[in-house]
Structure 1
Amino acid sequence: MPSEAYDAWRRSAAARVGGPGRVLAWARAEDGFVVGGPAALSFGGGDPTGGGDDWQHVGWHEIEHGGWNAESRALSWTLYGGRRGRVGLAEPGRLPELFRERVAASIAVERFVAIRGERGVTVTARRDLGGDGTLTWHSSLTRGLSWSTEGVAEEAARVSSELQSEYGSSSPGW
């Protein structure tokens, strides 16, 4: 990674809780760089003279799902709450593998509960890999269900409450 881009990333990442950590993997993106660190995926650096202001950081624990698409040469993800992200990688290197590993490492607890046939809710506790170990709880629905479907919200709340009493609670993220 060019030293100007590395320095800009470090300046930007230093503002995050836990600091920048170290670079586990990096790649050239369509417009800048992508850095995988212990606690976050960072992307930007297209303007190394910008003082690091163009970098964005996403905690691994914030990513609900995503992955590498070799055909489009893009790493994409969806955050809890529905916001999406995508970066095209000119040379992916180890980043796709690191992406899978770090997202999985942030999952402390995950349980799927069927509600209607194979449709149901997945309750997940995620741990910020750069934080104090606090769990954040989320509930996600499979396709074909909505939170307004009768009994869905109640079942998700029941399962989440049961798991939180067993594993510890934090802020619910649904």
Structure 2
Amino acid sequence: MKLFNRVPAKVRTVVAPTDRVLTYAEGPDGYVIATDRALYLGGTRLPWFQVDRGVWDEKGLTVVTTAGESYHALLPEPGRIPEAVRERVTASIVVNQYVPLDVRGGVRLVARKTDDDRMIWEFVFDAELDPADPGLRALAEQALEETRRSFGI
């Protein structure tokens, strides 16, 4: 009987010294590693506050970042990776509030906690709205200030 689940040296050498390995799985393209601070896909480190979502299918894991970048990892046997991704992404979100801006739509205000306990806010405008519209940006900024005040952040 195995009393301790030791992390293989191959996995430990990939992660930053400040990261604690939660779980890992090996795929044909290398390891996928979930730590307390980031997700490692091959040679890429994605801090949890930069991960918007993870999607699973029969081919493996697809991760989309808050910047809209997409990463894919083949994982025939994902182990606990799906649960870790879901839990860590959810834990990074402090505020997630939708605010109507005008009759055309609104904006989702999302605050994420970084590794060093800072808050990063992002605006996620409805698809039919132009995020570059200065009037909408001003309304979104005003909504953000009201949201920050109401949450005491």
Q: Which residue number in structure 2 is paired with residue 8 of structure 1?
A: 13
Q: Which residue number in structure 1 is paired with residue 47 of structure 2?
A: 59
Structure 1 residues 135 and 33 mapped into 2: Cα distance closer, same or farther (>3 Å)?
same
What stretches of structure 2 of length at least 5 have no aligned partner?
A: 1-5
Q: C-alpha separation between the residues in 2 aligned to 1:150 and 1:9?
A: 43
Q: Which residue number in structure 1 is paired with residue 61 of structure 2?
A: 75
Structure 1 residues 36 and 117 mapped into 2: Cα distance closer, same or farther (>3 Å)?
farther
Kept after mapping to 1: 8 A contact 2:109/2:123: yes
AA of the residue aligned to 1:89? L
2:147 counterpart of 1:142: no
Shift of 1:116: 5.1
Q: Which residue number in structure 1 is paired with residue 35 of structure 2?
A: 37
Kept after mapping to 2: 8 A contact 1:27/1:90: no
What stretches of structure 1 of length at least 5 have no aligned partner?
A: 45-54, 169-174
2:123 counterpart of 1:151: no
Cα deviation 1:1-60 (Å, max 9, x = unaligned): 8734223224xx12xxxx122x2121112300100011110122xxxxxxxxxx221111
TM-score, structure 1 as length reference? 0.73
Q: C-alpha separation between the residues in 2 aligned to 1:89 and 1:164?
A: 40
C-alpha RMSD of matched pairs (Å): 2.2
Q: Which residue number in structure 2 is paired with residue 164 of structure 1?
A: 148
Q: C-alpha separation between the residues in 2 aligned to 1:63 and 1:167?
A: 25
2:83 counterpart of 1:88: no
Shift of 1:90: 2.0
TM-score, structure 2 as length reference? 0.82
Shift of 1:89: 1.2
After superposing on structure 2, the runs of 4+ consecutive aligned residues of structure 1 that deviate more than 4 Å are none
Shift of 1:157: 0.8
Structure 1 residues 117 and 132 mapped into 2: Cα distance closer, same or farther (>3 Å)?
same
| Percent identity over paired residues | 28
Cα deviation 1:112-162 (Å, max 9, x = unaligned): 11235684211111002xx33111111112322221347321221111122
Structure 1 residues 90 and 113 mapped into 2: Cα distance closer, same or farther (>3 Å)?
same
State the number of aligned residues: 147
